[in-house]
A and B are shown apart, each in its own frame.
Chain A
Amino acid sequence: AQSVSQHNHHVILSEAASLELGCNYSYGGTVNLFWYVQYPGQHLQLLLKYFSGDPLVKGIKGFEAEFIKSKFSFNLRKPSVQWSDTAEYFCAVNVYNQGGKLIFGQGTELSVKP
């Protein structure tokens, strides 16, 4: 079965540190890839998405992610985190022949210390 794996359950960083959250998926066909963020007490919202073209995609709030097809990875990065980035981050994959289902990873909780 297709699956999405996020490497870290909980990441703790100080402000201005660089961030990289890992995401790997297990499907060899065409996929769309997403990162969603859930700030404390708020609903899930889209950070960025990859459909095709340039494998380096930029999202809101200075986040970016790189799709590496050979590694089945879509890691999320930010050069310098802020306290306001404290949230839970979810990687998700939309598999083309799976009826439009979005499969989510387990989530990574990011805590940024001021």
Chain B
Amino acid sequence: DGGITQSPKYLFRKEGQNVTLSCEQNLNHDAMYWYRQDPGQGLRLIYYSQIVNDFQKGDIAEGYSVSREKKESFPLTVTSAQKNPTAFYLCASKFSLAGTGELFFGEGSRLTVL
């Protein structure tokens, strides 16, 4: 079955540590996205990528970094510079950035900083 796989589902981290969240898709989509979901704030865009080796900052990119070395993969690193990293992180993809197709979502990764 085609879809988006995020791992891990749950992650605990100590303050000061970087952590990388994985996102893999086998939908052959060009565009990939990372959103952060917080209660009462909806989904806020962290980074997005329209093609391999290209990515742009979203609305809340500070303290995060990404890479897009392969079409299928778009990992997100939450760095120690992110002041409030405890959140639910969602990866999504779309056939193409400019296209009007729907966004498909993974099941999310919940990060808790202790």
Contacts and interface: CB of A to CB of B under 8 A. Distances in A.
A106 interface: yes
A100 B3 CA distance: 20
Contact of B35 (A4, A42, A46, A104): A104
Contacts of B41: 106
B94 A100 contact: yes
Given A43-B108, A107-B40, A101 B48 contact: yes
A64 to B, nearest CB: 17
A105 interface: yes
A16 interface: no
Interface residues of B, number: 27
B41 to A, nearest CB: 6
B50 to A, nearest CB: 7
B97 A34 contact: no
Contacts of A36: 103, 105
A45 interface: yes
Interface string B89-114: 01010101111101101111000000
Interface of B: 31, 33, 35, 40-45, 48, 50, 56, 58, 90, 92, 94, 96-100, 102-103, 105-108
Interface of A: 4, 6, 9, 32, 34, 36, 42-46, 49, 51, 90, 92, 94, 99-107
